[in-house]
């Protein structure tokens, strides 16, 4: 049950109830009646009726005159459009996003962090008949999505520790739910400059993502490439990694970011990184002779074992991959979470 959370100190109860009511509507349940809303929010039907009438007057919900059921109103789309227009990042990224989609033939998204989620704010669709439709506004978990992992990997140490102290929800049998394993995963992302999620959030969906930095060097967004697993084979993932990182670096430069040292180029990625089931994202093993390019914020990150992670290093030579095996245990069924209704369509 999506009960209304307990009122916060200083919060306005009616507003909190209105927000909770709007969040109940999802992709799988676009229309809801008063009885269902009352049950989901654990409120009396008379309260829901008054709440819906107020929201309808503001254009935030619409009532079907035939069924009496409610759906989200167009006023929300208007406000969402205004919010998105405030992101200069979308204007900077749009051309590069479409170029990457044409080059890879797959759907490409631009995502930013909002709380403990990544949110898609722009998209360039694949031209293939079978494609991933990760819509604008979709929320993705930080620990098992290609959009979320880079945002978490380059977050402040205390923030990473806080997120990993929370239960890591298992969305599929391949989701990494062990905090120690996730620490190593985040370390590799800082080194590699990209993240991969192979059926970790959704079955049959594979994606890769790279971080975008602002003029201060802070990671503020991710660029992702996503598509069906049968098409994003190990060889294709390896070939796309360079394009993905290059696109993210171009966007970072457009936002005023300047790497502290000259770039030596993009390291090649072996397709062996993505072979075999039960593996999480890969790690580039850098040749010592080419190491030394500082491409990550200077802020160190502490691992679960207490070892501090220094600035990320990126090399230029083709490197072997050290994949991390995910424990193939019998995990319990995934609990209903914030992303339960946020499934992709094909």
What is the per-residue pLDDT across 72-92, written as a single tens digit (0 to 9) for each?
A: 998 888 887 777 666 678 888
User: How do residues 166-200 score in pLDDT, each as one tens digit?
Assistant: 999 999 999 999 999 999 999 999 998 999 999 99
Residue 3 — very low, low, confident or very high, per pLDDT cuts 50/70/90? Answer: low
Q: What is the second-level CATH architecture of the domain 13-78?
A: Orthogonal Bundle (1.10)
Please state the rounded mean pLDDT for residues 34-47. 93
Mean pLDDT in the chain?
Answer: 76
Highest-scoring range by mean pLDDT, 2-16, 46-60, 274-288: 46-60
**pLDDT recorded at residue 89:** 85
Tens digit of pLDDT for each residue in 103-153? 999 999 999 999 999 999 998 888 776 666 667 888 999 999 999 999 999
Q: What is the pLDDT of residue 281?
A: 43
The CATH code of domain 87-309 reads: 3.30.450.40
Does the pLDDT at position 267 exceed 90? Answer: no
H or E element, residue 208: strand 205-213
Treating both helix axes as pointing N-terminal to C-terminal, what angle do 34-41 and 13-24 enclose, rounded to 10 degrees? 110
R_g of the chain computed on alpha carbons: 21
Residue whose token pair is 């506004």: 137
- Write the DSSP assignment of 253-281 as a string of letters: HHTT---SS----PPPB-GGGG-STTB--
**Angstrom distances, CA of residue 228 to CA of 133, 203, 236:** 11, 9, 12
d(CA 35, CA 52): 12
Query: What pLDDT was estimated at residue 195?
Result: 94
Does position 277 have pLDDT exceeding 50, yes or no?
no
pLDDT reported for residue 262: 46
- Asked if residue 2 has pLDDT above 80, the reply is no
pLDDT at 54: 94
Confidence of residue 7 (pLDDT cuts 50, 70, 90): low
pLDDT of residue 13: 87
Q: What span, in angstroms and rounded, lies between the C-alpha atoms of 127 and 125? A: 6
DSSP 345: B
Kindly state the helix (H) or strand (E) to which residue 78 belongs, with its residue range. helix 74-85
> Residue 219 is encoded by which pair of tokens?
């990671």
Residue range 301-309: average pLDDT?
Answer: 37
Residue 48: band (very low, low, confident or very high) from pLDDT cuts 50, 70, 90: very high
Least trusted range by pLDDT, from 84-93, 219-228, 249-258: 84-93
Give the model's pLDDT for residue 62: 94
User: Given pLDDT bands bounded at 50, 70 and 90, which one contains residue 249?
Assistant: very high
H or E stretch at 248: helix 234-254
CA distance 68 to 64: 5
Asked if pLDDT for residue 339 goes beyond 70, the answer is no
Q: Enumerate the domain spans of the chain.
A: 13-78, 87-309
pLDDT above 60 for 265: no
Say what percent of the chain tops pLDDT 90. Answer: 51
87-309 and 13-78 share a CATH fold = no
More confident residue, 297 or 162: 162
Cα–Cα distance measured from residue 183 to residue 164, given in angstroms and rounded to the nearest whole number: 8
Calpha distance 60→201 (Å, rounded): 30
Give the pLDDT band (50/70/90) at residue 321. Answer: very low
């Amino acid at each position: 049950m999506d009960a209304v959370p307990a009122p916060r100190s200083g919060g306005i109860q009616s507003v909190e109830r209105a927000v909770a009511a709007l969040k109940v509507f999802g992709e799988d349940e676009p229309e809801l009646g008063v009885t269902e809303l009352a049950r989901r929010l654990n409120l009396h039907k008379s309260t829901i009726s008054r709440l819906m009438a107020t929201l309808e007057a503001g254009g935030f919900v619409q009532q079907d005159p035939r069924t009496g059921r409610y759906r989200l109103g167009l006023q929300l789309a208007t406000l969402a459009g205004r919010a998105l227009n405030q992101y200069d990042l979308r204007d900077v990224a749009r051309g590069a996003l479409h170029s990457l989609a044409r080059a890879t033939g797959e759907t490409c998204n631009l995502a930013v962090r909002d709380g403990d989620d990544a949110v898609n704010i722009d998209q360039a669709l694949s031209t293939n008949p079978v494609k991933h439709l990760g819509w604008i506004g979709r929320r993705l978990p930080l620990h098992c999505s290609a959009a979320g992992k880079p945002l978490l990997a380059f977050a402040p140490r205390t923030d990473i520790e806080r997120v990993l102290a929370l239960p890591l929800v298992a969305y599929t049998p391949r989701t990494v739910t062990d905090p120690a394993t996730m620490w190593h995963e985040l370390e590799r992302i800082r080194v590699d400059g990209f993240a991969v999620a192979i059926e970790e959030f959704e079955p049959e969906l594979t994606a890769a993502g790279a971080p975008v930095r602002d003029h201060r060097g802070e990671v503020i967004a991710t660029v992702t490439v996503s598509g069906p697993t049968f098409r994003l084979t190990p060889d294709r993932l390896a070939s796309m990694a360079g394009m993905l990182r290059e696109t993210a670096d171009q966007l970072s430069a457009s936002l005023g970011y300047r790497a502290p040292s000259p770039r030596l180029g993009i390291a090649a990625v072996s397709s062996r990184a993505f072979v075999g089931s039960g593996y999480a994202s890969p790690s580039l093993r850098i040749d010592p002779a080419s190491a030394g390019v500082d491409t990550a914020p200077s802020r160190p990150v502490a691992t679960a074992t207490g070892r501090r992670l220094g600035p990320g290093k990126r090399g230029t030579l083709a490197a072997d991959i050290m994949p991390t095996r995910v424990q193939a245990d019998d995990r319990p069924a995934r609990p209903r979470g914030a992303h339960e209704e946020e499934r992709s369509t094909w």
